[in-house]
Amino acid sequence: MEDKWFKKGFKHTKFYSEDDNIFSLKDEEIDDDCIAYASDQSAYESESESDGKRRSRPANLNAFDLISFSPGFSLSGLFEDGSKESRFVTGAPVSKIVSKLEEIAKVVSFSMRKKDCRISLEGSREGVKGPLTITVEIFELTPKLRVVEVKKKAGDKGEYEEFCERELRPGLRPLMLPGTCEPSRLVPGPDEERNKG
C-alpha cells in the first residue's frame, strides 16, 4: 500500500462515527487522525460555533488521552516502521503557536493550511515519496497548558527528521516549557526516568 502504484486512483475514504452518525472524510480535508483525536469533542465543536469564530478552541485532553500516547499501546509498530509523533507542552496560547509555525513555514517556503487547531505544513519539493507534509495539532490540557503534536503525514522519513531537527524544533523551542527534554532516543536515560515533572 505504500507503493505509489497501488495508490493510483485509489480514494481512501475513512469513516468515523460520532454521536450515532456516520461521517465520511475526504482524504484531502482530514485524515485518519481526524476529529482532533481527543476527548471533549462536543466542546471543541459547539464552542467554536457559538463563539462565532471557528478559530481556535482546541480539543481537550484527559488522563486517558495522554496515556494512550504511549508507543507501547501502538500496535501499528507491528506493521510499519513509522515516524513517531512528537509532542510538547506549552503555556503559549494557540495564536502564538500558530504564528510561530507561520514563521517557520515562511523560512523554508512551505505552504501552510489551517483548520481550527489543526495545521498542515507542506513542502513543494517532490521527493521520492512525494512532498513532505507535516501535521501539527494543538490540544488543551488545562486552562493554562496546551499540548502540541507534530507528525509526518506524507513524504520521506529522513527528510521529515531533518526538518524537525533543523527547523521545526529549534523554531518551537522558545515555546516549550523549561525542562522539556530533547527526544533523541527511544529508551529514556536514567535522569529522565527520575524526572517525572
Residue whose grid cell is 523554508 = 108
- For other proteins, the closer of residues 88 and 110 by Cβ is 88
Q: Which residues contact 184 (CB under 8 A, 6 or more apart)?
A: none
- For other proteins, the closer of residues 75 and 128 by Cβ is 75
Q: Rounded to whole angstroms, what are the CA distances from 33 to 5, 38, 84, 91, 149?
A: 24, 10, 14, 24, 11
- For other proteins, the closer of residues 44 and 123 by Cβ is 44
User: What is the chain's alpha carbon radius of gyration, rounded to the nearest angstrom?
Assistant: 17
- For other proteins, the closer of residues 38 and 121 by Cβ is 38
158, β-bridge pairs? none
Residue whose grid cell is 517557520 = 104
CB of 92 to other proteins, least distance (A): 15
CB of 111 to other proteins, least distance (A): 27
CB of 37 to other proteins, least distance (A): 4
Q: Which residues contact 127 (CB under 8 A, 6 or more apart)?
A: 155, 156, 159
Rounded to whole angstroms, the Cα distance separating 45 from 12 reads: 25
Q: What is the 3-state secondary structure (H, E, C) of 95-144?
A: HHHHHHHHHHHHHCCCEEEEECCEEEEECCCCCCCCCCEEEEEEEEEECC
CB of 184 to other proteins, least distance (A): 10
- For other proteins, the closer of residues 81 and 109 by Cβ is 81
- For other proteins, the closer of residues 128 and 187 by Cβ is 187
Where does this chain bind other proteins (CB under 8 A)? Answer: 1, 6, 14, 16-18, 32, 35-41, 61-81, 86-89, 141-142, 145, 147, 177, 179-183, 186-188, 192-193, 195-197
CB of 43 to other proteins, least distance (A): 11
CB of 149 to other proteins, least distance (A): 10
